[in-house]
A and B are shown apart, each in its own frame.
Chain A
Amino acid sequence: MLIDHPLLGPRDAQEFVVLGDAGLIDRPDRQAGDAARRFHEYLHLRNNPAGEHRELWFHEQGDRSWLVVTRDTLTHEILRVELARDVAVARGRDR
């Protein structure tokens, strides 16, 4: 499998490790009144779609970028690769 890194071009999947659902970017506010419930959901509850899935991948044996890879779990086709930093900033995080 090749992952088309936004900065480096196609790289073999051996260079990467997968973390899991890209929802991990949206860490809940620990000060919120319902923080316990939201952290429970954040840690334990995942959708398991048959189809398009967004995942966090780490380019460990490369430029150490975190990527958000959008992948079809039925066909293994990779639809989109973005820098996780760009995704986080677009969602209002400072970095």
Chain B
Amino acid sequence: MAEVALTARTPLDGYAGTFGGVTLVEAAGLSLVSAAVPNGGGDAFAAALAEGFGASRPSTGESVPGDRLGARILGMQPDQMFILFEAPDPDRAAEAVSSALGPAAYVTDQSDSWAMLRIEGRGVRAALERICMLDLDDAAFPQGRVARTVMEHLAVIILRDGADSFLLMTPRSSARSFLHAVELSLANVSE
């Protein structure tokens, strides 16, 4: 039988672009796992998060760094966190979180469902404010803030991971359309 080697492709094929002083690059190598809090299990979940990631439970809209695997815990909704991290084995990302949190969380691997783009550089907000309805001002959306919202009618999770840097996550199936929207907005402001 013929030997077949399959090569993994990222959702945007490693896209990278530069627009004036702003770079737009596909963020690869990150795993995304959701951790849902069982009904009435808030205390056990908080204890597991402290034990497994050395982190306190973020409220909705906040994110906190974990102490291993380069993790960041994103508060997506009152009883659901997303854990963004570098999995030692990306095919076993859910197991990595499961073993850190134990039975205190319902865990689902979301990594392959999302495309991730990092947009970075001075003037990044000028491009984002044309497609994002949220107030991205330093006071309203400081570093570490995260939100699920809509841009160009497409679902997006936006995380501010630097003074002039944002991580944008969008469903893989519509990632090309979303990329087009961001590219267009960047082109419009980088004359």
Contacts and interface: CB of A to CB of B under 8 A. Distances in A.
B99 interface: no
Given A8-B61, A12-B133, A61 B77 contact: no
Contact of A65 (B39, B59, B77): B77
Interface in A13-27: 14-15
Contact of A62 (B39, B59, B80, B149): B149
B59 A61 contact: no
B61 A7 contact: yes
Interface residues of A, number: 14
Contacts of A9: 140
Interface of B: 39, 59-61, 76-78, 80, 133-134, 140, 147-150, 155
A8 B147 CA distance: 9
B20 to A, nearest CB: 28
18 contacts: A7-B59, A7-B60, A7-B61, A8-B61, A12-B133, A14-B133, A15-B133, A15-B150, A61-B149, A62-B147, A62-B148, A63-B60, A63-B61, A63-B76, A63-B148, A65-B77, A65-B78, A85-B78
A43 B61 CA distance: 35
Contact of B77 (A12, A14, A15, A64): A64
Given A7-B78, A12-B133, A14-B133, A61 B150 contact: yes
B130 to A, nearest CB: 14
A8 B149 CA distance: 11
Contacts of B148: 61-63
Contacts of A40: none
A11 B140 CA distance: 12
Contact of A95 (B39, B77, B80, B155): B39
Nearest to A63: B77
A94 to B, nearest CB: 9
